[in-house]
Amino acid sequence: MQINGVSIDDTYAEAFAMWGARVLITAETAKWALAAARAITGFATSVIGCKCEAGIERVVDVAHTPDGRPGIAVLLFAMDAEGLGKRLVERVGQCVMTCPTTACFNALEAEKTVVVGGALRYFGDGFQAAKLLDGRRFWRVPVMDGEFVVEERFGVQASVGGGNLLILGEDTAPTLAAAEAAVDAMRVPGVILPFPDGVVRSGSKVGSRYKSVMASTNDAYCPTLRAVTKATRLGAEVGCVLEIVIDGLDLAAVEEAMRRGLRAAAQPGICRISAGNYGGNLGQYKIDLRSLLGPT
């Protein structure tokens, strides 16, 4: 199968089960809402080393925020609900409560919830106050610019992480251009691309020759190792490989993002588009690239 002359490998992306949450941050100005959103999503590219994966989902208009102020929706993912709850308390407490003028709301309706504001309220040292509005409990925590309003509980739901695309190009410039175009196309509701501006160059495989390392460089896709690793999957024409990783609140959202990314990345200078998998031994979901596109 080809798109615009670019071959699509007959393979699948191996995704796995995660737990996800959506946090809505508001502030007096869009600048400060963005500042808090950037902080809460910092150091959150991979659960391998960061304990969670997070990213900005979208800007939320003042007409659709609980307090009528500029807002930003952020998605966070972890391997289990308990771990996600811990990350929410840590990151809302350290990155949103500390940011001037912000408030923080749950933006995911889910059967399962975790305590966030109910834990952060203790920072108020007994001066905090509860507020019940439309059946939702909020905490007003006194801070030096007024008060920090945070919802008591946040919804969490079973989600999907690790969807991915591998873009194999002739050289760095066309591969990066194709990756950037794919990232722009993949910004769909319910999805984040957790790596820097959505792109990762240090793709990994499970395990290592060093026992203490749980993941190591994906030598099969490293152009400089083509002549020295038996695992290589690169022809002589490939000089650069970039990966896009996708996390979503459900499988359909991940598939839609990948579908858009596949089409957008099929540009001049791209040899192939593929995906990473581990023979079906790691994840519960196999997202077939060619099936995403249908007859092409």
Structure tokens at 247: 């996390």
- In whole angstroms, what is the distance from residue 89 CA to residue 95 CA? 10
Strand-pair category, 191-192 with 240-248: antiparallel
Confidence of residue 295 (pLDDT cuts 50, 70, 90): low
- Give the chain's domains with CATH numbers: 2-15+159-293 (3.30.70.520), 18-157 (3.30.70.520)
What is the spatial distance between Cα 196 and Cα 192, in angstroms, rounded to a whole number?
11
CA dihedral (104, 40, 14, 188) in degrees, to 10, reads: 60
Q: How is residue 63 written in tokens? A: 């007409």
Gap between the Cα atoms of 236 and 166, Å rounded: 17
Question: Which pLDDT band, with edges at 50, 70 and 90, does 279 fall under?
Answer: confident
For residue range 135-170, what is the model confidence (pLDDT) as tens digits? Answer: 899 999 999 999 999 999 999 999 999 999 999 999
Q: Which residue has the higher pLDDT, 80 or 206?
A: 80
pTM, full prediction = 0.95
Q: Which amino acid is at 86?
A: K
Asked if 154 and 119 count as a contact pair (C-beta separation under 8 A), the reply is no
pLDDT value, residue 296:
54
